Structure 1
Amino acid sequence: MNDSNSTSENTPDSWSICDSCRLLANAITNPKNTDSRTYLCMMMQTQLESLETALAMPVPENRKTLPPMPDDGIFDNTELEPAELCDQCRALNYALIMLSNKMVQEVIAFILCERLEMLRHSLFAPDGDQP
């Protein structure tokens, strides 16, 4: 029996951990969970650290030929309105101002750039698609 194979069967892979993070993110954004948000964020941090480790591992054989993921309805995937994107940009900018961790600032700055680009594209949507 191959020990590395039995270990990998018991270790969650990046797909499983990502699904767990999606569920936690959904719970964090649920207004009914405001009292438990800090605890849920700590759980998310642990999962993301596990995900970072799992992403460095080889892709498990059972995950190499997966079909596209169906929409499970956990999140609303409709395109964001320019006002929503602007709100997100403001929140990300606020986080940049308030945070002192340089690595986190760098990541949030990159996300802010992505959101600003999304906002730019949403403003120049084809006729009929503009708000």
Structure 2
Amino acid sequence: MRLDKQPSNRWVQSLNRRQRKKLYLAEFQEWLAVVKVGFASPLSEADFALWADDLHQWLAERELSMTGGADASPVSEAELMIVSDFDSVTPELLAEIRAALVAQPQVAKCDAELDDAWYGWG
């Protein structure tokens, strides 16, 4: 979890509940998964599109959405941000996502971590 871009605790404590909710802080903080995938062998643009479609379908079944992708073809690495449609991504859900990706034959390595959806990424 990256905490280097978090607002200070002192400032957050000075806010009332409505302000914390409006700013997605403290008990209203939302988490997303940042996933970096390395492929065993580079994928063509068409193969990567099929892989991404299959992953998107798997995520949609769990009420998750993703964005991200790869820079150039052939694709040897991809970076994705995965968010929950209705809640934060939990550590348990992150472990499930990572396990599903590592189980795929195309994937050689997978790094995944939680990040603050409003203040941490970027």
Greater share of residues in strand: 2
Instruction: Bin the TM-score by the shorter chain.
Output: under 0.3
TM-score by length of 2: 0.26
Structure ID, larger Rg: 1
Greater share of residues in helix: 1
TM-score by length of 1: 0.25
